[in-house]
Each structure stands twice: as C-alpha cells, then as structure tokens.
Amino acid sequence: MSLKIGIVGYGYWGPNLVRNFTATEGCDVVAVCDRSEDRLAQVSKLYPTAQTYREFDDFLGCGLDAVAVATPVASHYPLAMQALEAGKHVLIEKPMAESSEQAEKLIAEAAKRELTLMVDHTFIYTGAVRKIHELYKNGELGDIRYFDSTRMNLGLYQHDVDVIWDLAVHDLSILDYIIGEAPSSVSAVGTSHVAGMPEDMAYLTVFYNSGAMAHVGVNWLSPVKVRRTVIGGSKKMIVWDDLEPSEKIKVYDTGVTVTDDPEKIYDMIVGYRVGDMWAPQVPMLEALAIEARHFIECINTKSEPITSGDIGQRVVKILEAASQSMKNRGTPVDLSGEGK
C-alpha cells in the first residue's frame, strides 16, 4: 500500500520534492499546499492527480500519511508541529527550525507519537559525500586535520535567514556526518551589503577537541558559482568539486610526516610526501531521489533516518552559536557542553 504524501510550499525547493516523490515507489503525491494561486495552477498542470490547497488545515485533513515542509524557515516549526500533532510523518527542509529549542520540541513530539522526523540535508545523500564518508570510516584518510570549503554564488537573497543559515548549513551537516565529532567552539564574521538585509557573505570557523578545524566561506555576491571543498587527512587528502561533471572527488596520497626519532631530530623534523592521485567512481544518482526513497523506507521500517531530527538540532545549535559570534565580530562561542 502506497503512502500518501503531501508537500507544503511550491516555491524554490518544493517542485523538486514533488517531482522526486512522484517518481518514488511506495508513495503517491496526493496534495500540494501553497498560498499562491499561480503556483498551484502549475501543480495542477504538471500533476493533475494531486489536489491543491491554499489552507494548511484543509491540506492536513485530506488523508495524508506524511508531509514534506518546503517553506521559509520561520514557518518550519509551526507547520511541522501541527503535522506531527495530526499524526503525520514529517520531512523538513534545512535548517529544521529557527532555534534548537524548537528543534528539540519537534524531536520530542515525533518520539512521543512514534513518527518519522527527517531533515532535508540533501548533500548527505550525494554520491560524493557518501564516498568521502566511506573513505574516512575505512581509515584511508587517517585523522581529519582540516576541512576547508568555499560555497558561493550570485543570489538567491533570503529575507528571513543570513548566508550562514542558507549556505553554511550544508557544510555543517556534512561535517556532522563525516567527522562524527561534536565541535568544541565556533567563530564567525560576516557583513551585509544591502541595507536592511541579512549578512550576504560570511566566514565560519569550527574547532574540534581532536585538533581538526573547519573553515567555511559562504557568499551570495560571487560572479561565479563555486562549490569546492578540501579535506586534509593525516594519510590522504581530498579535493571535492561539486560542479565537476565527472571526477567530483580526487584523492591525493599527499601530506606531511613528523619524526620524533632522536637520531633524525637534527635533520628535517617535517617531511613531505607526494604520491599518486586517483578519482574514485561516484554514483551520479540525484541525491533527492535517494533521500525520498530513504524517507519512505524509514516510515515503513520504523528506522531512524540518516538525517534525523537529532542531526538537524545539532546543526541548528552550531548556527545559533555562529550567529552569536557574528554579532560580536568573531568572538568564539563555546560548544564543549553540547553532546554528539
């Protein structure tokens, strides 16, 4: 029996959700909710079997099993909570809420009702990120020493969140998935170039007790689109360019070795290692299609999603700390009391 799923929000991301869930076995997109009549007219033209609604209450009452929320961040919590209280499984677009307190309430409500709560951290379902995760877990990278990411493009300006909450949220979820370590502190600086608008460029630094450090640059004002990450491990290093059509990941057998041999202490303490480069094969399937299947599978098997509400909450906590740091011109905010 197919699960009946509805999508609320048919703006930037909603059409992608409708398209992928429509193509996913085990579910039917039976309803779409949006305030715009023009957007709902597009839905009716493309998906004539889906019912359209302007009012969320009417949408929830049409016999849905699950709801995907793709609306502005400020509405994530009230819409998701209302859906959970109505007994619906919920998928929420990133970031899952405006605050970690809201995220915690959603997690508790889903647990109380034994419902699936999943966050749409899409990059975790990409072949590239899953391959990097595999290489790290297999020990091929060694200890991660640094994560350096540049994520920029021209727009889209957001009115309700700054560039950290819009773009850096991707890297924070990727870090949580790959490193699996709670950060000890975070520092951020940013600025806005449009009066009355949130910060449109920012730099975020995340510190870990293991010695690893992550640096993320995000920007809405770039003349070119850049999605490039360098990950330095003690054994190997990775360059991941998400805009590369084929060789998205390149693994370099390159690094430094430090000697503590007293016989060699007067020679070179740090030695450089330059080896081969190889590009592992990465599945090119659409990440959102994999994520949609995973959501349906988690509902049917009552298993915890890879991008659970817990991951969503941890990411929101870091975003909150980054916002606090940015207001204080980069003063680090301690996160050592937060558990993984």
pLDDT above 70 covers what percent of the chain? 93
CATH of domain 3-122+288-309: 3.40.50.720
Spell out the long-range contacts of 187-194 with Cβ–Cβ below 8 A and sequence spacing 24 or more: 187/322, 187/325, 187/330, 187/331, 187/332, 187/333, 188/164, 188/322, 188/323, 188/325, 188/326, 188/330, 189/325, 189/326, 189/329, 189/330, 190/162, 190/163, 190/164, 190/326, 192/162, 193/221, 194/157
pLDDT at residue 156 is higher than 60: yes
pLDDT interval class at 71 (50, 70, 90): very high
The whole-number pLDDT of residue 273 equals 55
Least confidently predicted of 62-76, 145-159, 202-216, 264-278: 264-278
What is the amino acid identity at position 317? K
For residues 202-229, average pLDDT: 96
CA–CA gap between residue 113 and residue 274 (Å, rounded): 54
| pLDDT tens digits, one per residue of 23-68 | 999 999 999 999 999 999 999 999 999 999 999 999 999 999 999 9
The whole-number pLDDT of residue 244 equals 92
The whole-number pLDDT of residue 284 equals 84
56: enclosing H helix or E strand = helix 56-60
The whole-number pLDDT of residue 338 equals 59
The whole-number pLDDT of residue 194 equals 86
pLDDT at residue 242 is higher than 60: yes
Beta-ladder partners of 230: 148, 239
180: three-class secondary structure by DSSP? coil
For residues 154-164, average pLDDT: 82
The whole-number pLDDT of residue 169 equals 97
Residue 89 and residue 299 in contact, taking contact as beta carbons nearer than 8 Å = yes
For residues 169-188, average pLDDT: 96
The whole-number pLDDT of residue 254 equals 76
112: enclosing H helix or E strand = helix 100-113
* Per-chain mean pLDDT for the chain: 92
For residues 165-178, average pLDDT: 96
Beta-ladder partners of 218: 151, 202
The whole-number pLDDT of residue 158 equals 74
Pull the structure tokens for residue 53.
Answer: 């609604």
CA–CA gap between residue 104 and residue 102 (Å, rounded): 5
Domain boundaries, the chain: 3-122+288-309, 124-286+317-334
Contacts for 28 with CB less than 8 Å, ≥ 6 apart: 2, 3, 4, 5, 49
The whole-number pLDDT of residue 195 equals 84
CATH of domain 124-286+317-334: 3.30.360.10
The whole-number pLDDT of residue 171 equals 97
pLDDT interval class at 340 (50, 70, 90): low
Q: How far is CA 176 from CA 259, 283, 307, in A?
A: 31, 21, 10
Instruction: Count, in order, helices (H) and strands (E) of the chain.
Output: 10, 15
The whole-number pLDDT of residue 208 equals 96
pLDDT interval class at 91 (50, 70, 90): very high
